Structure 1
Amino acid sequence: MTDQRNFSGSVVAFCSFVVAVCAVLVAVKVMSPVQVETPAPPRVLDQTALEKQVAGAVSQWKSNPNALVLCPLSVVVEKGTEFTCTVHDDEGPRQASVTIEDDQGKISVERN
C-alpha cells in the first residue's frame, strides 16, 4: 500500500512539474514581442517633376514650351519600366514613350 502511495505521489509530482513547465513556456511565448517586418512601400516617380521632365524633352523636338503633359499616376521606380505620357500642344494630342533608365528614376523620352 505504501508503494502505491509513493508511486501515486510521484506521478502527481511529475504531472505538476510538466504543467508548470508548459505554463512557463506559454508565458514566455505570449510575453515575447512579435516582430513583424513590413515591406517598405515602393518608390514612385514624383508626378509634377515627371511631367516637367517630359515637357522639357518634348520642347526639344519642337519649340513649344507650353505643351501640357499628362503621365500615369504612381509610376514605380524600377529600371526598364516603360509607360506612355500624352502631350497636348499646337499639333494636338500625341504620345511620348518614357523608359526608366535606372533605380534613381532617370528617364528617357522618345516620340511615338
Structure 2
Amino acid sequence: MVKESDVVQFLNDLKQKIKTFGIIIVDREKNRDTLSELVIYQSHIKNYISDLKAENFCKGPVKDSEHGGSYWEFGIEINNREIYIKINHGKFNKPVICISFHFAELKLKFRFKK
C-alpha cells in the first residue's frame, strides 16, 4: 500500500527530473483531442505535471510493460473537466514520459484528497 509520503517523494523526484531532462508526451489521439478541445499546448503539460500534489494521486506504481519501470496515475481539473494523467519516471538520465493526458473516461478516485 502506497503511503502519502511515497507519493510526495515520487513527485519531488519527478519534478527534479523534468527540470533536468524534460518530458516526452506520448503522441496519442486521446491526448491530442483533449489538448485541442481545451486549447492548450503540449508545453503546458509540463506545468500541469509540475503542479501535481499528493492529493492528485489516484493509483500506482503499476508495472509498465511498454516503457519499462512503472507508471503512476493522477488527476486534475481543467475547465471543470477531470483530466487523467499517467506518468512514467522514465529511464535513467532520460526524460519523464507522460503516457496519458486526456479527459477521464471514468470517475477518478483520489487516495489522499482532503
TM-score computed with the length of structure 1 as normaliser: 0.34
Higher helix share: 1
> Which structure has more RCO (C-alpha within 8 Å, separation ≥ 6)?
2
TM-score computed with the length of structure 2 as normaliser: 0.34
Say which one has the larger Rg.
1
Higher strand share: 2
